[in-house]
A = this chain, B = another copy of it.
Amino acid sequence: MTYTPKGKHLIAGEWIDGDKTFASSPAHGPVHEFASGNEGLVDRAVWAAEQAFEVYGYTSRAERAAFLDAIADEIDARGDDVTEIGTQESGLPAGRLQGERGRTTGQLRLFAQHIRDGDYLDRRHDGALPDRQPPRPDLRLIQRPIGPVAVFGASNFPLAFSTAGGDTASALAAGCPVVVKGHPAHPGTGEIIAEAIHAAIQKTGMPAGVFSFIHGDSNAVGKALVEHPLIKAVGFTGSLRGGRALFDLCAARPEPIPFYGELGSINPCFVLPEALATRGAQIAEGWVGSLTLFAGQFCTNPGLLVLPADGADAFVDTAARASDAVAEQVMLTHDMAQAYRDGAGRIGDLAATVTRTESHGRNARPNVYRTTADDFLRDHALGEEVFGPMGLIVTVKDDDQMIDLARGLEGQLTATLQMDDADIPLAARLMPVLERKAGRVLANGWPTGVEVADAMVHGGPYPASTNFGATSVGTMAIRRFLRPVSYQNIPDALLPEDLRD
Contacts and interface: CB of A to CB of B under 8 A. Distances in A.
Interface string A114-152: 000000000011100000001011011100101100000
A435 B144 contact: yes
A442 interface: yes
Closest 5 pairs (CB-CB, A-B)? A442-B488, A251-B251, A141-B455, A457-B486, A139-B455
B136 A443 contact: no
A7 to B, nearest CB: 36
A476 B476 CA distance: 16
A484 interface: yes
Contacts of A454: 124-126, 139, 141
Contacts of A494: 424, 427-428, 431, 443
24 contacts: A124-B454, A125-B454, A126-B454, A134-B449, A137-B442, A139-B454, A139-B456, A144-B435, A147-B436, A247-B251, A248-B251, A251-B251, A256-B462, A417-B490, A431-B494, A435-B496, A440-B486, A440-B488, A441-B485, A442-B490, A443-B490, A456-B486, A457-B485, A461-B483
Contacts of A485: 435, 438-441, 457
Interface string A448-459: 010101111101
A493 interface: yes
Interface in A443-501: 443-445, 449, 451, 453-457, 459, 461-463, 466-469, 471, 476, 479-480, 482-491, 493-494, 496
A349 interface: no
A19 interface: no
Interface residues of A, number: 73
Nearest to A473: B486
Interface in A77-126: 124-126
Given A146-B468, A468-B483, A494-B428, A441 B488 contact: yes
A140 B474 CA distance: 12
Interface of A: 54, 57-58, 124-126, 134, 136-137, 139-141, 144, 146-147, 232, 247-248, 251-252, 255-256, 258, 410-411, 417, 424, 427-428, 431-432, 435-436, 438-445, 449, 451, 453-457, 459, 461-463, 466-469, 471, 476, 479-480, 482-491, 493-494, 496
A93 B305 CA distance: 63
Contacts of A247: 251, 256
Given A124-B455, A493-B424, A411 B255 contact: yes
Contacts of A484: 439, 457, 459, 469, 471, 476
A456 B411 contact: no
Contact of A137 (B252, B451, B459, B480): B451
A468 B485 CA distance: 9
Contacts of A457: 141, 484-486
Contact of A488 (B432, B443, B469, B482): B443
A443 B489 contact: yes
Most buried by B among A147, A432, A482, A483: A483
Most buried by B among A247, A417, A441, A486: A486
A49 to B, nearest CB: 14
Contact of A432 (B54, B432, B467): B54
A153 to B, nearest CB: 23
A114 to B, nearest CB: 12
